[in-house]
C-alpha cells in the first residue's frame, strides 16, 4: 500500500510541477505578443469613435516614444521598460494629460487632475496570458482590458473638462 500512495504522491507532484512550468512558459512565450494584442485591441475598439465631438486617436510612435490613445487633452499611455528574456518589463498604462507632440513635456503639478497608473502583470490562465491590474485587483483578457482602458480614458476626459468648467 505504501508504494501505491507514494506513486500517487509522485504523480500528483509531477503534474503540479508540469502545470507550473507550463504557466511560466506561457508567460515567457506569449507576453510580448499579448502586449501588442492589447494595444491593437484598444486601437480597433476605439477606431472612428468620438466623445463630445472629439476623436479617439491612436498615436503609435516609432523610436522610443510609447504608444498612446488620445482623447482631446488626455491620453492612455502604454508604457514598458523594454524586453528582457522575451518579456516586456514593467508594463503599465498611465492616464494623464497628453503632450501636444512626442517632443513636448509637461509638469504634473500643473495638471488640474491627478494621473492614474495601472500596473499590469502578465499571468497565465490556461494557455493564455491575462493581465492582472494591481490597482483594480482584477485580471482581464486583452480585449476586456482594452474596453476598460477606453472607459477610463473617457472618465479622465470628463474630469479634465470639468476641472476647466467645460
The reported pLDDT for the residue numbered 64 is: 62
d(CA 162, CA 63): 34
d(CA 23, CA 60): 30
The reported pLDDT for the residue numbered 65 is: 67
Alpha-carbon distances, residue 145 vs 94, 95, 136, 163 (angstroms):
13, 14, 11, 27
The reported pLDDT for the residue numbered 99 is: 59
From the list 27, 58, 60, the residue with the least C-alpha distance to 150 is: 58
The reported pLDDT for the residue numbered 136 is: 96
The reported pLDDT for the residue numbered 5 is: 87
Characterize the bridge pairing of strands 54-59 and 83-84: unpaired
The reported pLDDT for the residue numbered 19 is: 64
The reported pLDDT for the residue numbered 104 is: 52
Break the chain into its structural domains and give their ranges: 2-163
pTM value is: 0.80
The reported pLDDT for the residue numbered 1 is: 46
- The x, y and z cell numbers of residue 116, run together, are 492614474
The reported pLDDT for the residue numbered 164 is: 82
Per-residue pLDDT of the chain (166 residues; tens, 9 = 90+): 456 888 888 888 877 776 665 878 888 888 999 999 999 999 999 999 999 999 999 987 665 668 899 999 999 999 998 888 878 899 999 999 875 554 454 545 567 888 999 999 999 988 889 999 999 999 999 999 999 999 999 999 999 999 987 7
Amino acid at each position: 500500500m505504501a508504494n501505491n500512495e507514494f506513486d500517487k504522491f509522485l504523480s500528483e507532484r509531477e503534474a503540479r510541477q508540469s502545470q507550473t512550468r507550463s504557466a511560466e512558459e506561457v508567460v515567457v512565450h506569449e507576453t510580448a505578443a499579448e502586449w501588442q494584442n492589447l494595444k491593437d485591441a484598444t486601437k480597433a475598439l476605439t477606431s472612428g469613435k468620438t466623445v463630445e465631438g472629439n476623436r479617439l486617436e491612436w498615436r503609435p510612435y516609432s523610436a522610443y516614444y510609447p504608444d498612446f490613445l488620445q482623447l482631446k487633452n488626455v491620453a492612455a499611455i502604454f508604457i514598458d521598460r523594454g524586453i528582457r528574456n522575451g518579456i516586456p518589463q514593467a508594463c503599465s498604462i498611465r492616464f494623464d494629460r497628453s503632450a501636444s507632440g512626442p517632443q513636448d513635456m509637461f509638469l504634473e503639478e500643473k495638471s488640474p487632475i491627478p494621473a492614474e497608473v495601472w500596473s499590469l502583470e502578465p499571468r497565465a490562465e490556461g494557455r493564455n496570458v491575462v493581465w492582472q491590474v494591481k490597482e483594480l485587483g482584477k485580471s482581464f483578457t486583452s480585449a476586456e482590458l482594452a474596453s476598460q482602458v477606453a472607459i477610463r480614458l473617457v472618465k479622465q476626459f470628463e474630469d479634465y473638462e470639468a476641472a476647466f468648467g467645460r
